[in-house]
Structure 1
């Protein structure tokens, strides 16, 4: 298997609300789409982020859609400078995202914080000094 992830698909409860959060609130570039489409794609560096109704995504994977609590997955967004972590989380808060863990020095030597999107998907925003 080639070591790459091409698409991360998030199951969402309200597609329009999630599009607004990611496009308008966080500024992710939404690919052109038919307004009646039940999926949205955002083009990112090296991958795509897809939003798809949670029920439909669970049906496609043949699993129950009623999962709750921590799913054991987070998505990480690394930035080039420590101050960018705070700036991104400020933008997330302004867009209506919930700050789950405020920014702080991390045990692994970097600086990070966590937020959740309207459906509770966890994102870590981090400055990892090891990428310098």
Structure 2
């Protein structure tokens, strides 16, 4: 049996307004790819692509119902090298139009994190994990 590698290449977020969401992520500092068009926006992020696609179109493509937004049991995360970096990134996200959900704080597992929601309610965690260093490319390292 051919064993394929485990990896995530693309994360697609279903959004209500592609243009408005694109502007939000650009305010956060994400750089839009020239592969983007009116139907989808792509942002390249150090080996992974974040895509913004119409919510109804994404549901149709997956052949599922476009159900009411709410907590979906999923959070995207960005790790930083220090608590101060988390605080800086969180403040920038709020200044860019994110909704604050949990102010950055020390957490039960020994790290430091906070949560915000993008304009469509997608959860983002900003964290410092003292048990997992970041490599020279900003990728998490695990034992």
Verify: 1:14 aligned to 2:14, yes or no. Answer: no
Residue 2 of structure 2 corresponds to residue 3 of structure 1? no
The count of residues paired between Structure 1 and Structure 2 equals 130
Q: CA RMSD in A?
A: 1.1
* Bigger helix share: 1
Give the Cα separation in 2 of the matches to 1:117 and 1:101: 13
Q: Could you say what secondary structure the match of 2:58 adopts? A: helix
In the TM superposition, residue 80 of structure 1 has moved relative to its aligned partner by 1.0
Query: What's 2:91 paired with?
Result: 90
> Where do 4+ consecutive residues of structure 1 move more than 6 Å?
none
TM-score normalised according to structure 1 size? 0.94
TM-score, normalised by the number of residues in structure 2: 0.87
Check whether the contact 2:30–2:43 (CA below 8 A) recurs between aligned residues. Answer: yes
Q: Give the equivalent residue in structure 1 for 2:100.
A: 99
